Amino acid sequence: MTQNTPLPPCHSATARTTQRVLSAAQLKAMGVPAGRAVEQCGSGGPWQQPLPGVFVLHPGPLSGPERLRSALLYAGRPPVSGRRAAPSRVADPAYGEAMLTGLAALSLYGFAA
């Protein structure tokens, strides 16, 4: 393989799926319909739905960072009513205006409380 060898077409999708906590909007953008995502979360399914509109792509308990990311994705959802304008610039568009502060932010980056 040389530097000029093209990457396989699934490369970008594979890179995105390394994140195991995704919003319904992110899954939809990857071609996974909402109904299919909910099916995967059924009894004994391979996925979980810890919060409405947030999916964890593995069974078993969530790690601390996965719980925090789930909370950010849930809190940063665009409003249904549309009364609030979407922010023009945010660090991660999936989080909207949501952010972690205090001990939660410190623990996310591995600092002891």
Domain membership of residue 74 (yes or no) is yes
Total domains in the chain come to 1
State pLDDT tens for residues 52-82.
999 999 999 999 889 988 988 888 876 555 5
Mean pLDDT of 22-27: 91
pTM, entire model: 0.65
pLDDT at 17 over 60: no
> Which residue range is the domain that position 104 belongs to?
17-80+88-108
Domain membership of residue 6 (yes or no) is no
Q: How far apart are CA 25 and CA 95, in angstroms?
A: 12
What is the model's pLDDT at position 10? 41
48, β-bridge pairs: 56
What is the model's pLDDT at position 38? 92
Long-range contacts of 11-17 (CB under 8 A, 24+ apart): 17/57
